[in-house]
Structure 1
Amino acid sequence: MMHKDRFSYLFKQYFQKKASPAERSEFMRMVHSAKYDQELEVLMDEYYENFQQQQSPFSAIEENRMLKAVLKAGNPTANVKLPAGRRMKLWARISIAATIALCMGTGFFTYRSYTYHKDQELAASMIRPGSNKARLVLSNGEVILLDTLKNGTQSLEAGIQLTKTKNGQLVYKISDQHSDRPSLIHTIETPKGGMYQLQLPDGTEVWLNAASSLKYSSVFKDKKREVTLSGEAYFEVAHRANQPFLVHTQDQVVEVLGTHFNISAYPDEEKQVTTLLQGSVKTSSKAAAVMLKPGQQSILNIKKEQLKLAEADIESVMAWKNGDFIFKDEDLASVMKKVERWYDVEVVFQDVDPSKIKLGGWVSRTKNISAVLKIIEPIAGIKIKIEGRRITVMK
């Protein structure tokens, strides 16, 4: 009984991302032993019990076959017995088992026509995950490639000092805060397959996701601190009671004094989403203006010109910054856009409507693209073909 209680504790710690390295290793050893398969099934049911139900495209028999295959990927000799009771959502049941199998360093599974051939494995192995890559464009047009910039401090235009720390962060400093230095406009841009962190002249911390850009002033002299964002970024704004911080996107403005929030505003997306973690923000568009409380998000539908409030899934929103992909009842179109940006690939759909396919799962963004595709392919019920950096999704 004591061992079962320990397994239950480690399970919850692991999937709430609270487990220490030692606890993670202990949990994986217990899973691999196959002694706790029954407890694992019960915990999987309990863990996802409150998730919103969705229609599975597979029969109960097919779902059980898939789950058996995933669990056996973690322990090929295990005798997996699945309860014949109520059906659980496809992605919830399978993705959690797939997470365990992947974390144990095993391969994945082959299910019916969802085969991952050796040539595909080789092609996938050539597509590495994104990393700290960005370029800084100064007001005079000079371009600095930040991933090749050496650590340390260097002087830029108009008395600006730029420091690149050991972990790759950029820190701005003005040599003389009281001088009449001109306020210059700088732009930091991340490519597909890149992300970056910087500290603005006012002390505000910004994390830029892939394929994003942030335009800002080298000196915040005006009554308002204003920046312009394209793409996705997480902000921890330095508090200045008499100088609000404004983030402009193509279709909205987010105003704060000092707070933590995430904005996703990619030009190729139909929605712009602002998620508040701490403090308060005001989101304004042509349609309306709303005030957010921690745990809420504003969703701007650009085509419909509608701005609404919703409860946020903070874990999913912040997954990119924390080094993960977390998909919860997300459509395939949205998932593959994230894959495109992080792995710098082109995704093409062939006889597939990605907006009608929902899926979920979790995998680290530090893994090669194969780890992500091996979760998506069987759960979404599609086939994936890799040719160079072109990913074709088909039935």
Structure 2
Amino acid sequence: MDSEDKDLSSLIAARILGLPLTEEENTRLDEWLNQSEVHRRLFNRIRNRELAKRILRLQYEGYGERMATQFERTVFRRSRQLRWLRWGSVAALFVLVCSLTFYLWNREDPCQIYPGEGGAVLTLADGRQYDITMQNGNEIAGLMASAPVDTQADSIAYHTLTVNAGQEFMFRLPDSTQVWLNSESELRFPAKFAEADERKVYLRGEAFFDVERDQRRPFVVGADEASLTVYGTRFNVSCYAGESLSTVLVEGSVGFRAPGVGEVRLQPSEQLVYHAATQQVDVRPVDVNLYVAWVEHQFVFQGQTLEEIMTTLSRWYDFTPVFTSDAMRHIRLSGRLYRYDDIRILLDSYERTVGLKFKLQGKRIIISE
């Protein structure tokens, strides 16, 4: 293992955990981050708050005391710098250094398919664009406040959040409604909701809404020619291009409307699927956890086709699935995967159980028997 990689890993880990670095160490790390977009993407991926949660979980499980001594002997030799470190922080840093060193050691591997990270592009009503890399609602609020709004204009000024493949994002709308945007999704929302009108946003892709209750102003989600009207509820909407619109209600009440379809009311734990080509609506009871698990950073599949599974995974891991035969597309499988884990954990389980082969080639996964 390259000692330079190990030293660099410890610097990254220290900055992520908020530990003090010398001026020389900060300069070295900044130079490495500015070398390429790949370095910055790696740093943001590791910095993702979910990794921090996993580190804290290790601390609460007593991992700190078991690993601190080994960490002091094998990773850092500077004992004076360790005196002010708490046991939990030492162990957390040890775990993070090991993880970072693995990523750095394998960074030239052409078959690495990494999980996504938190991030989005905010396009303000005046056309300015910003890369939002941290899930920071205050940052978005500040940027939106900086956009001039013509209060005399008849048209409503809309901002747009775009979440690309391999990204996810959570933020609050101007009315305090919380929105989780999944990969390959876009949300248009007004710079300010009118005081005496509906609160309408427009979605492409997938989002989970926790709507702020306001009986005077119903909340409306527009998706192509369809719309969902709510007054204060939690629900998931999926309307990717080429797929039927689907919404799953967790709590509250939702009214669905579309051309040729009268209003259809949903009850909690029901899923509505709208087939635009035939103007057909199907409503059925479901286990909502299967459809909102992504908000809790989980993939949960239950009897879905392999094509559906790979399409869902491809949006997050940013790859293209290639089937060597059409028959494999229709194989039905189940499984569970933490969104920030290596995709090969799930693929290996499918290889063992149904005899499929998954070969990683750059940004493609070749599926064969």
| Same fold? TM cut 0.5 | yes
- Paired residues for 1:131-150 under 5 Å: 131-147=117-133
CA contact (8 A) 1:377 1:383 kept: yes
Structure 1 stretches of at least 4 aligned residues deviating more than 6 Å after TM superposition: 148-151
Residue 215 of structure 1 deviates from its aligned partner by 0.5
- The residue number in structure 1 matching 2:264 is 290
1:387 equivalent to 2:351? Answer no
User: Secondary structure in 2 aligned to 1:226?
Assistant: strand
Give the superposition deviation at 1:156.
Answer: 3.8
Alpha-carbon distance, 1:374 to partner: 1.4
Which residue of structure 2 lines up, in the alignment, with residue 187 of structure 1?
A: 160
Preserved CA contact (<8 Å) 2:135 2:171: no
Indicate which of 104, 124, 130 corresponds to 2:116. Answer: 130
CA 1:158–1:356: 2 relative to 1, 3 Å: closer
Matching residue of 1:235: 209
> Which protein is richer in helix relative to its size?
2
Alignment of 1:1-395 (within 5 A): 124=111, 126-147=112-133, 153=139, 155-156=142-143, 180=151, 183-221=156-194, 223-269=197-243, 271-288=244-261, 289-395=263-369
Pair 180,191 (structure 1): closer, same or farther in 2 beyond 3 Å: same
Does the aligned pair in 2 maintain the 1:278–1:294 contact within 8 Å? yes
Please say if residues 233 and 252 of structure 2, whose CA atoms lie closer than 8 Å, have aligned partners that are also in contact: yes
What letter corresponds to residue 204 of structure 1 in structure 2?
Answer: T
Aligned to 1:103: none
Cα distance change of structure 1 residues 149 and 210 upon mapping to structure 2, 3 Å threshold: closer
Contact residue 158 and residue 181 of structure 1 kept, 8 A: no
Q: Provide the rounded CA distance (Å) in 2 between the counterparts of 1:229 and 1:189.
A: 10
- Say whether the 8 Å CA contact 1:359–1:379 is kept in structure 2: no
Aligned-pair distance for 1:157?
Answer: 5.8
Compute the displacement of 1:377 (Å).
3.1
Shift of the 155–325 alpha-carbon distance from structure 1 to 2, 3 Å rule, reads closer
Which range is displaced more, 349-358 or 311-320?
349-358
Tell me how far apart the structure 2 counterparts of residues 380 and 131 of structure 1 sit (CA, whole Å).
30
The answer as to whether partners of 2:120 and 2:132 remain within 8 angstroms in 1 is: yes
**In 1, distance between residues paired with 2:332 and 2:310?**
12
5+ residue gaps, structure 2, are 1-56, 62-105
Cα distance in 1 between the residues matched to 2:172 and 2:358: 40
Tell me the SS of whatever aligns to 1:135.
strand
1:307/1:287 CA distance change after superposition, 3 Å? farther
TM-score, length basis structure 1: 0.61
Flag the 1:277–1:199 CA change in 2: closer, same or farther, 3 A. same
Aligned-residue sequence identity (percent) comes to 30
Measure the CA separation in 2 of the matches of 1:262 and 1:151: 20
In the TM superposition, what is the alpha-carbon distance from 1:155 to its structure 2 partner? Answer: 4.1
Whole-Å Cα distance in 2 between the matches of residues 223 and 392 of structure 1? Answer: 51
Q: Which amino acid aligns with 1:285?
A: A
Contact 2:125 / 2:191 at 8 angstroms: preserved in 1?
A: no
Instruction: Kindly provide the CA deviation profile for residues 119-141 of structure 1, in whole angstroms up to 9, marking residues without a partner as x.
Output: 9xx655x2111110111011121
How many pairs are equivalent?
263
Amino acid at match of 1:186: H
RMSD: 2.9
Deviations 1:280-337 (A, max 9, x none): 0011122423100111111112333211111122111011111111110111111001
Residue 369 of structure 1 deviates from its aligned partner by: 1.9
CA–CA distance in structure 2, aligned partners of residues 150 and 274 of structure 1: 27
Deviation at 1:249, TM superposition (A): 0.7
Alpha carbons of 1:155 and 1:277: their partners in 2 closer, same or farther (altered >3 Å)? closer
TM-score by length of 2: 0.65
Q: Give the conservation status (yes or no) of the 8 Å contact 2:125–2:147.
A: no
Distance 1:251 1:286 in 2: 7
Deviations 1:159-215 (A, max 9, x none): 669xxxxxxxxxxxx9xxxx9486420000101000000100011000000110100
Partner residue in 2 for 1:93? none
> Quick check: 2:118–2:134 contact (8 Å CA) kept in 1?
no
Distance in 1, Cα, partners of 2:328 & 2:275: 19
Q: Distance in 2 between matches of 1:200 and 1:191?
A: 19
The letter for the 1-side match of 2:114 is: R
C-alpha separation in 2, matches of 1:266 and 1:151: 25
Change (3 A) 1:223 1:194: same
Against the structure 1 CA distance between its residues 390 and 263, is the aligned structure 2 distance closer, same or farther, given a 3 Å change threshold? same
State the Cα distance separating 1:240 from its structure 2 match.
1.0
Q: 1:181 to 1:132 in 2, by over 3 A?
A: farther
Task: Assess if the C-alpha contact under 8 Å between 1:134 and 1:189 holds in 2.
Answer: yes
Amino acid at match of 1:353: A
Report the residue type matching 1:241 in the other structure: Q
Cα 1:229–1:366 change in 2 (3 A) is: same
- CA distance in structure 2 between the aligned counterparts of 1:302 and 1:379, rounded to whole angstroms: 37
Separation in 2, partners of 1:158, 1:184 = 12
Would you say the 8 A contact 1:187–1:214 is kept in 2?
A: yes
